[in-house]
Structure 1
Amino acid sequence: MPEAPAVPTPAALPLRLEGARLATKTLVVALGTLVLAASSWIEVPMVPVPMTMQTYAVLLVGALCGWRLALATVLAWLGEAMVGLPVLAGGAGGLAHFAGPTGGYLVSFPLAAALVGLLAERGWTKRVLPAFAVMLAGHGVIFALGVSWLATRIGLAQAIAFGLTPFLLGTVLKSALAVATLRVVPHGRRAR
Structure 2
Amino acid sequence: MDLLKTNSMQKVLKTFVLIFLGTMALTISAKLKIPFYPVPMTMQTFVVLFLGLAFGYKIGFATVSIYLLEGIIGIPVFSNSPEKGVGLVYFTGPTMGYLIGFLSAVFFAGYLNLKNNIFIIFSKLIFSVSTIYLFGVLWLGTLIGWDKPILELGVTPFLLAELFKICLLTILAKKIINFRKFI
Task: Report the number of matched residues.
Answer: 170
Which residue, 51, 54, 60 being the options, matches 1:64? 54
Q: Summarize deviations over 1:135-184 as a string: whole Å, max 9, x none.
A: 11111100100001101122345211100111111110111122233345
User: Structure 1 residues 159, 130: CA separation in 2 closer, same or farther (over 3 Å shift)?
Assistant: same
- If each structure's helix is expressed as a fraction of its own residues, which one has the higher value? 2
Bigger relative CO (Cα 8 Å, ≥ 6 apart): 1
Match of residue 78 from structure 1:
68
User: Structure 1 residues 66, 126: CA separation in 2 closer, same or farther (over 3 Å shift)?
Assistant: farther
Match of residue 93 from structure 2:
100
Instruction: Output aligned runs, 1:1-192, within 5 Å.
Output: 21-92=11-82, 93-119=86-112, 122=113, 124=114, 126-156=116-146, 157-185=148-176, 187-188=178-179, 190-191=181-182
SS of residue paired to 2:149: helix
- What's the C-alpha RMSD, in Å, of the aligned pairs? 2.0
Could you state the TM-score of these two structures normalised by the residue count of structure 1?
Answer: 0.81
Contact 1:98–1:104, Cα closer than 8 Å, also in 2: no
Match of residue 4 from structure 2:
none
Aligned structure 1 segments of 4 or more residues deviating by more than 3 angstroms: 90-93, 183-186, 188-192
Give the AA of the match of 1:101. Answer: P
1:186 CA displacement: 7.7
Q: Which runs of 5+ in 2 are unaligned?
A: 1-9
Could you state the TM-score of these two structures normalised by the residue count of structure 2?
Answer: 0.84
For 2:180 and 2:109, the matched residues in 1 are separated by 21
Contact 1:40–1:89, Cα closer than 8 Å, also in 2: yes
Q: Which runs of 5+ in 1 are unaligned?
A: 1-19
User: Structure 1 residues 101, 142: CA separation in 2 closer, same or farther (over 3 Å shift)?
Assistant: same
